[in-house]
């Protein structure tokens, strides 16, 4: 989630999240034909998609305000973030996943990643302290805490809290970069440090054109620390196009999400107003190779995915911050969409060239938050295929092998979760892991799906021991 959720957690201009859709409704919503939209909670899907199971949110995570967030995988386990902590699922039998443990540890967004027996959680809202018993803190209070929490998951039934590392402006998302000496580097992304209604906190000031890099020694994770804070945009980045939010492009003030491709020494950055290609051959010093902008159609550069050859990047635009109905005719097919760029040239002369947009075409109700969100490659050699979450727009499997003519080849969605656009619902992350699609639905819980299609079937033969989607594996080289 991006700008609007950030504002909510910092006590912001628009007030509560419940009020946000009322602000956006007049700007973004358009009447949709009810005949084309599934009924409340009704499932519709393409013939090649099978919905194997849903595991509802449970216990302390069952409340509508306990949003499910990102996913990571290790062996037979899936780790699912939630604003109130994280859940460990045993997915050895994908059609019958079991909850192994639930860890209560509040802290928006609690995006999660795995490195060996370590689990990392992002906290991007002020807390009274760094414990799992903390309460919401205040931006203006220097003692408030935001950053990364580390857990030991060698016993998945009893994860153990190891360490917390505070980072400037918190951690909205984080991305792993493997080191070469038994360590992992965490690239911590945060953005929008100042909020007009509350001012700037003492630990988070403009300009904030940087990331925090945390080094975690695997043998001694308690020694983890911030080792660098490189400024990625010494010129300040995109100043924004001057149009009011949500139509206008956001000024760059940090990055929302980074995706590393360690085998290629590359990283793609979705940085509010900028799409960036980095060289990360030195993990402590990411170096900008090229920057692209799209002030006409992109409001908020949210996330990025390479294809396996690393000669394409798919950037997403999270128009409306994930809190608005943007999958409608009023917004059209080029806003709140994916943008496909091809990487041309070599070395430092590489540059990104725009090819096309892709957006789901199915109509959505005005009560459904819908926009491009988190997805991953389906590993099919010689083809570029992704599965992707679209919040209440559902899950789309699409092929961008022809960069100029992307097309959907499968989908799954539910009808509106609620009679109003708040609270939020839908698929936050939809990822392909060892032959199956796993979706962390904000309200409905974990969904497991399978796609049976000649174009994607080769992916079922590819097996991984670990998957953090924002640290892309090289499937075939």
Backbone angles phi, psi at 376, to 5 degrees: -145, 165
Cα–Cα distance for residue pair 272/301, rounded to 1 Å: 5
More confident residue, 203 or 164: 164
Position 204 scores a pLDDT of: 80
Position 5 scores a pLDDT of: 39
Total number of residues shown for the chain: 477
pLDDT at 17 over 60: no
Fold of 3-467: Methylamine Dehydrogenase; Chain H (2.130.10)
DSSP 202: T
Per-residue model confidence as pLDDT tens digits over 320-368: 999 999 999 999 999 999 999 999 999 999 999 999 999 999 989 999 9
Q: Tell me how far CA of residue 124 lies from CA of 121, 192, 306, 412, 443, in angstroms.
A: 10, 11, 26, 30, 20
Position 178 scores a pLDDT of: 97
Q: Tell me how far CA of residue 144 lies from CA of 170, 172, 470, in angstroms.
A: 10, 16, 28
Backbone angles phi, psi at 140, to 5 degrees: -80, -5
Residue entry with tokens 């709140």: 336
In a 13 Å sphere around the CA of 303, the CA atoms on its Cβ side amount to 28
Residue closest to 140 by CA, chosen among 205, 71, 85, 94: 205
Q: What is the mean pLDDT of the chain?
A: 91
Mean pLDDT within 312-316: 98
Taking the CB of residue 284, how many other CB atoms lie within 10 A of it? 13
Position 35 scores a pLDDT of: 63
Position 471 scores a pLDDT of: 98
Per-residue model confidence as pLDDT tens digits over 280-298: 999 999 999 999 999 999 9
Mean pLDDT within 164-181: 95
Per-residue model confidence as pLDDT tens digits over 70-80: 999 999 999 99
Residue closest to 353 by CA, chosen among 277, 240, 280: 277
Q: Percent of the chain scored above 90 by pLDDT?
A: 83
Kindly report the pTM of this predicted structure. Answer: 0.93
**Structure tokens belonging to residue 185:** 């580097």
**Structure tokens belonging to residue 80:** 């699912």
Cα–Cα distance for residue pair 70/440, rounded to 1 Å: 7
Q: How far apart are the first and last CA of the chain?
A: 33
pLDDT at 203 over 90: no
Per-residue model confidence as pLDDT tens digits over 396-430: 999 999 999 999 999 999 999 999 998 899 999 99
DSSP H or E run through 431:
strand 427-433
- Angle (CA) 389-127-148 rounded to 5° is 60
- The strand order across the sheet containing 301-306 reads 301-306, 312-317, 338-344, 351-358
Position 242 scores a pLDDT of: 82
DSSP 273: T
Helices of type H across 11-129: 20-28
Q: Tell me how far CA of residue 403 lies from CA of 160, 294, 385, in angstroms.
A: 45, 17, 11
Residue closest to 374 by CA, chosen among 331, 323, 316, 312: 316
């Amino acid at each position: 989630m991006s700008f609007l959720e950030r504002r909510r957690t910092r006590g912001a201009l628009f007030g509560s999240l419940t009020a946000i859709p009322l602000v956006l409704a007049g700007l973004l919503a358009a009447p949709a034909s009810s005949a084309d939209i599934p009924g409340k909670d009704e499932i519709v899907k393409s013939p090649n998609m099978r919905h194997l199971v849903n595991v509802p949110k449970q216990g302390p995570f069952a409340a509508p305000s306990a949003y499910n967030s990102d996913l990571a995988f290790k062996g037979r386990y899936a780790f699912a973030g939630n604003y109130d902590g994280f859940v460990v699922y045993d997915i050895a039998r994908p059609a019958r996943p079991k909850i192994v443990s639930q860890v209560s540890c509040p802290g928006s967004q609690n995006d999660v990643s795995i490195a060996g027996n370590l689990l990392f959680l992002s906290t991007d809202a002020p807390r009274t302290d760094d414990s799992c018993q903390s309460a919401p803190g205040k931006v203006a209070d220097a003692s408030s805490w935001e950053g990364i929490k580390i857990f030991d998951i060698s016993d998945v039934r009893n994860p153990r809290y190891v360490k917390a590392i505070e980072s400037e402006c918190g951690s909205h998302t984080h991305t792993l970069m493997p080191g070469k000496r038994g360590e992992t580097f965490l690239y911590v992304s945060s953005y929008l440090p100042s909020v007009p209604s509350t001012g700037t906190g003492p630990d988070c000031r403009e300009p904030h054109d940087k990331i925090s890099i945390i080094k975690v020694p695997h043998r001694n994770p308690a020694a983890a620390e911030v080792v660098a804070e490189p400024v990625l945009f010494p010129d300040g980045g995109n100043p924004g196009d001057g149009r009011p939010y949500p139509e206008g492009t956001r000024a760059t003030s940090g990055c929302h999400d980074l995706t590393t491709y360690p085998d290629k020494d590359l990283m793609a950055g979705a940085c509010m107003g900028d799409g960036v290609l980095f060289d990360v051959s030195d993990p402590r010093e990411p170096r900008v190779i090229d920057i692209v902008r799209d002030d006409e159609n992109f409001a908020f550069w949210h996330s990025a995915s390479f294809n396996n050859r690393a000669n394409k990047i798919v950037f997403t635009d999270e128009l409306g911050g994930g809190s608005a109905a943007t999958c409608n005719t009023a917004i059209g097919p080029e806003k709140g969409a994916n943008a496909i760029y091809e990487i041309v040239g070599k070395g430092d002369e590489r540059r990104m060239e725009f090819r096309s947009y892709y957006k789901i075409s199915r109509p959505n109700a005005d009560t459904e938050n819908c926009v491009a969100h988190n997805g991953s490659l389906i590993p099919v050699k010689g083809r570029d295929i992704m599965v992707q979450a679209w919040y209440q727009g559902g899950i789309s499997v699409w092929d961008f092998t022809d960069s100029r003519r992307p097309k959907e080849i499968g989908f799954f969605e539910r009808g509106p979760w609620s009679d109003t656009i708040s609270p939020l619902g839908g698929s936050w992350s939809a990822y392909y892991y060892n032959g199956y699609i796993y979706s962390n639905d904000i309200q409905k819980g974990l969904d497991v799906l399978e796609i049976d299609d000649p174009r994607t079937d080769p992916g079922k033969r590819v097996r991984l021991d670990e998957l953090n989607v924002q640290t892309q594996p090289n499937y075939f080289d």
